[in-house]
Amino acid sequence: MTQNGSLEADVVVLGLGSAGEVVAGICAGAGLRVVAVESGLVGGQCPYHACIPSKSLDLVLATGSSPIVPPLPGLDGNPFWTSDQALSAVELPRRLVILGGGPVGCELAQAFARFGSEVTLVESGPELLPSEPDVIGQVLAAVLRDDGVRVCLAARAERVDGAGVGAGITVRLDDGTAATADRVLVATGRRPNTYGIGVERLGIDAEKGLTPDAYGRVGDGVWAIGDVTAAAPFTHMATYAARAVAQTLLGRPHRLDLSAAPRAVYTDPTVLCVGITPRQAREQRIPLLQAGFDLDGTARAYVEGIARGRVEIYAGEDGRVLGAAAVAPRADDLMGQAVLAVRAGVDVRLWAEVIQPFPGLSEAFGEPVRELAGRVGRSGVSSRGVGWR
Ligand SMILES: Cc1cc2nc3c(=O)[nH]c(=O)nc-3n(C[C@H](O)[C@H](O)[C@H](O)COP(=O)(O)OP(=O)(O)OC[C@H]3O[C@@H](n4cnc5c(N)ncnc54)[C@H](O)[C@@H]3O)c2cc1C
């Protein structure tokens, strides 16, 4: 503490969520003087509103993100939730309209449908999970319909009419249909918390958002980690970036590599995607070989009565695994080998030699990787070593 009452520190961390906690802990453990400032609850959104319920005078920005509420006529005058309120609600709406078919909208649609609400899920894109491969959204839509969710695709909410709780709220869609609810849940995305933290004084434009370099640096002596950067908004990504930045702050520069960031959606079955998607490959003009397999072709699915699920593998013409996607029970665990394959740039011809245990769900990888391996072999584009020495 200085004479004027201010604190002296080597590292100041704004925000003590998943990212802030890790970076502050590592730096303090290594002997740096750390001041951590948290405006709400220590631990951030992950333990309270998200996952757990569905430096040398550097300044680490770890202020997370907040829900975006769209400027929808009539929404303000009617009771609506964001995920924060939905996950701490004590009432169960009889009818719930969810705007947004991304990860949060899909997870909460299934949860509330299983609690007993009549759920309508509205997504403006042609499929659920618009950033993921189409087939994954298609399987998930079928799963949610099995749960009783009314899934409205390619439909955008254009107006909300109603007289409040009990009287019913009508959400009018631009395809001419409507959905009536007791509560509207807005899950139309989140925006990084870049405002009100003074980044402008450091020459950073809060409006443009934070674009960290390969080490997480956004300016001289300023670092940004977690959801505030808008890159892969997941707890595991926040803690990964926090560990890397802490190492850099301790004098051991650590490059971030987000190429194999696992993107999870905790519905039942779970969605796990990693690396490139066919849409990104088209946009970036990357020739992509792709093959997939429906889980019901595995012995395990037969034994366990798994009706829906799929894995998809994406490889470059040279055979390198560039991406993968799955909707499957415990896909987060099942896809460990796919995440490793993308991260390590494994050749699909080597993956085809991996022996998958019987009767495990990972048998689903067998056919698609063998098919891709065959296509790479035939294309003769590359004969890069596939041995394992
Ligand atoms: C419904 C939902 C479900 C999710 N489920 C999963 C999941 O299953 N798996 C997963 O990996 N991810 C999940 N996520 C994402 C995950 O919660 C976030 O990626 C993670 O919390 C990001 O951590 P963070 O530290 O960057 O931000 P946060 O956890 O948001 O922490 C930021 C902290 O900064 C504080 N803060 C903000 N402004 C200031 C300021 N000016 N000064 C000081 N403090 C400030 C906030 O109060 C907050 O505590 C989910 C998100 C949602 C919304």
| Per-residue model confidence as pLDDT tens digits over 259-315 | 999 999 999 999 999 999 999 999 999 999 999 999 999 999 999 999 999 999 999
Gap from CA of 274 to ligand 1 centroid (Å): 21
pLDDT of residue 3: 67
Gap from CA of 196 to ligand 1 centroid (Å): 17
What is the widest separation between alpha-carbon atoms in the chain? 75
Q: How far is CA 266 from each of CA 66, 125, 312, rounded to the nearest angstrom?
A: 20, 20, 18
Gap from CA of 313 to ligand 1 centroid (Å): 30
Distance CA 311, CA 204 (A): 42
Provide DSSP, 188-237. S-EEE--TTS-GGGGT--TTT-----TTSEEETTEEE-GGGGTSS--HHH
62 lines ligand 1 (CB under 6 A): yes
The first and second tokens of residue 251, run together, are: 């004098």
pLDDT reading at 388 higher than 70: no
Helix, strand, coil percentages for the chain (3-state, nearest 5): 30, 25, 45
256 lines ligand 1 (CB under 6 A): no
Gap from CA of 21 to ligand 1 centroid (Å): 11
Cβ atoms of residues 263 and 272 within 8 Å: yes
pLDDT reading at 44 higher than 80: no
Q: In terms of Cα–Cα distance, which of 38, 32, 39 is closest to 57? A: 32
166 lines ligand 1 (CB under 6 A): no
Q: Phi/psi at 35 (nearest 5 deg)?
A: -110, 125
What are the helix (H) ranges across the chain?
A: 18-29, 45-49, 83-86, 103-115, 134-146, 235-249, 278-283, 299-304, 331-334, 336-344, 348-351, 366-379
- Supply the residue whose CA is at minimum distance from atom 15 of ligand 1: 234
- Supply the residue whose CA is at minimum distance from atom 50 of ligand 1: 50
pTM attached to this predicted model: 0.88
Q: CA end-to-end span of the chain, whole Å?
A: 57
Gap from CA of 60 to ligand 1 centroid (Å): 15
Q: How far is CA 310 from each of CA 138, 149, 169, 179, 301, rounded to the nearest angstrom?
A: 10, 21, 37, 31, 11
- Nearest atom within ligand 1 for CA of residue 196: 41
51 lines ligand 1 (CB under 6 A): yes
Q: For 158-203, write each residue's pLDDT tens digit.
A: 999 986 556 789 999 999 999 999 999 999 999 999 988 888 887 8
Distance CA 64, CA 105 (A): 19
Distance CA 362, CA 321 (A): 16
Give 17 or 285, the one with higher predicted confidence.
285
Test site for ligand 1: of 22, 60, 63, 245, most ligand atoms within 8 A of the Cβ: 63
